[in-house]
C-alpha cells in the first residue's frame, strides 16, 4: 500500500514523499546519507479488557527536518515494522528526526492510532486518537545521526486500561515483562540488522553503534 504525504516548508515550497509499507530489502548506502533504525512494541495492558502485544505491521510515521540549499525542509515518511517489531528507512539526509505516531489494527478494538503532537514540551507524549489521521506537524525532534545511523533504539509503548500511554526507550531489553506475561530479552537494535542483512554496506556504521 503506497501513501503520499504532503508538507509545506517554511519557505512555502511543497515536498511530496512516497513510500511503500512492505519494503523488506535494505538498500546499500548512498554517499553522505544515513540509515534510520529502531523497534517498536505496542503492549496493550487492559485497554478495553485486552491484554496483548503487537509487533508486526505497525505503521510508524517518522518526521524531521534538514537543511538543503540553505533552507529548512520538513520531512515525513511512513515505515512499517517487520514480524519482530523492527523498522528502518534508508538513505536519509543529516537532520533531526522523531517518531510522530503510529497506527495498527486489532480484532475487537479496530484501528488504533497513537500520536505525539511534538509541539509543546509540556505535552511531549503519545496519546490515543479518535480518528485514523496523524498530523505531520511538529518541531520537537529528539534523534540525530551518529556515524551515519539514526538509532531510535527499542520503543515500548504501553496502552493502559485508562487509555493513557507510557513510552519508554531502551538501548537493549533485559528481562522486560510485558502485560501478557512474556519476558523479552533483546540486544541493541544494530545487532538485529547486522544479523538480518549480513554483509550489508551499512555494516561498519552499525558496528560503530555498539562501541
Q: How far is CA 38 from the centre of its chain?
A: 6
DSSP state of 123: G
Q: How far apart are CA 201 and CA 203, in angstroms?
A: 5
pTM: 0.87
Number of domains in the chain: 1
Domain containing residue 87:
2-21+31-208
57-74 pLDDT, tens digit each: 999 999 999 999 999 999
The stretch 98-120 carries a mean pLDDT of 94
60 CB burial (10 A radius; 0-12, 13-18, 19+)? buried
In a domain, 73, yes or no: yes
- Predicted local confidence at residue 8, as pLDDT: 35
Q: Which residue carries 529528539 as its cell?
A: 142
In a domain, 26, yes or no: no
In a domain, 196, yes or no: yes
In a domain, 43, yes or no: yes
- Taking alpha carbons only, the member of 144, 143, 149 closest to residue 190 is 149
Task: pLDDT band for 205, please (50, 70, 90 cuts).
Answer: very high
In a domain, 136, yes or no: yes
How many percent of the chain have pLDDT more than 90? 81
In a domain, 49, yes or no: yes
In a domain, 179, yes or no: yes
152-190 pLDDT, tens digit each: 999 999 999 999 999 999 999 999 999 999 999 999 999
9-52 pLDDT, tens digit each: 333 232 333 343 344 789 999 999 999 999 999 999 999 999 99
Q: Which runs of E-coded beta strand occur in the chain?
A: 2-8, 14-20, 34-45, 51-54, 59-68, 71-80, 86-92, 96-106, 110-116, 126-129, 149-160, 165-170, 173-177, 183-186
In a domain, 121, yes or no: yes
- Predicted local confidence at residue 75, as pLDDT: 96
Amino acid at each position: 500500500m503506497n501513501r503520499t504525504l504532503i508538507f509545506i516548508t517554511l519557505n512555502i515550497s511543497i515536498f511530496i514523499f512516497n513510500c511503500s509499507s512492505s519494503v523488506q530489502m535494505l538498500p546499500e548506502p548512498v554517499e553522505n546519507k544515513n540509515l534510520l533504525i529502531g523497534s517498536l512494541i505496542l503492549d496493550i495492558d487492559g485497554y478495553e479488557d485486552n491484554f496483548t502485544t503487537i509487533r508486526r505491521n505497525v505503521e510508524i510515521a517518522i518526521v524531521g527536518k534538514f537543511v538543503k540549499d540553505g533552507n529548512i525542509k520538513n520531512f515525513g515518511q511512513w515505515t512499517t515494522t517487520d514480524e519482530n517489531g523492527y523498522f528502518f528507512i534508508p538513505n536519509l539526509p543529516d537532520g533531526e528526526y522523531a517518531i510522530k505516531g503510529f497506527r495498527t489494527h486489532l480484532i475487537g478494538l479496530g484501528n488504533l492510532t497513537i500520536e505525539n503532537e511534538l509541539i509543546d514540551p509540556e505535552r511531549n507524549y503519545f496519546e490515543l486518537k479518535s480518528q485514523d489521521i496523524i498530523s505531520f506537524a511538529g518541531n520537537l525532534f529528539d534523534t540525530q545521526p551518529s556515524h551515519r545511523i539514526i538509532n531510535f533504539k527499542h520503543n515500548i509503548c504501553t496502552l493502559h486500561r485508562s487509555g493513557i500511554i507510557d513510552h519508554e526507550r531502551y538501548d537493549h531489553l533485559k528481562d522486560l515483562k510485558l502485560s501478557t506475561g512474556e519476558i523479552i530479552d533483546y540486544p541493541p537494535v544494530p545487532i538485529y540488522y547486522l544479523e538480518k542483512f549480513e554483509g550489508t554496506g551499512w555494516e561498519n556504521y552499525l558496528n560503530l553503534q555498539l562501541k
